[in-house]
Structure 1
């Protein structure tokens, strides 16, 4: 096994050991597209394009994963979404 293969294998093991969570944003009949987009940009550090795409997916599919990461990183972001009146949870 080459050194490169060993490094890749170790990286895969490290990635598997980290438990990643997701923030799921749910559709509602209250918030406007603009509010959802602005909130995703602010709370989740989305680009305008990412926020627009997520808002469209939420509208048509009912939900969308808007951020993936460790729970401690996601918790304050999810709180910002909830404080802005959006429906979201960490799974």
Structure 2
């Protein structure tokens, strides 16, 4: 029995590339008050980052002014955002474009 294979256009999958389960990002903002260590410690404790990942995020935040440190649903990210701002670090939850 011959085997047939269906081919689909790569353009047909273009719509499914957006992850609808994670339409928001948690953005941490740079300031002149908080130390690298405090930001790193916060990202490890609040976001569950490894030390190395948190350190990289802290440098990007410092040099770019802000950085999306995590993506997810609003309900997932809002408590993290609140915990970060309670530590005196600027953070916002923003919808992905």
Give the TM-score, by structure 2 length. 0.77
Q: Could you tell me which runs of 5 or more consecutive residues in structure 2 were left unpaired when the two chains were aligned.
A: 1-5
Q: Could you tell me which runs of 5 or more consecutive residues in structure 1 were left unpaired when the two chains were aligned.
A: none
Which structure dedicates a bigger proportion of its chain to helix? 1
RMSD: 2.1
Q: Distance in 1 between matches of 2:65 and 2:17?
A: 33
Runs of 4+ in structure 1 off by over 6 angstroms are: none
Indicate which of 32, 39, 48 corresponds to 1:36. 39
Rg: which structure is higher?
Answer: 2
Q: How many residues align?
A: 85
Q: Distance in 2 between matches of 1:34 and 1:17?
A: 33
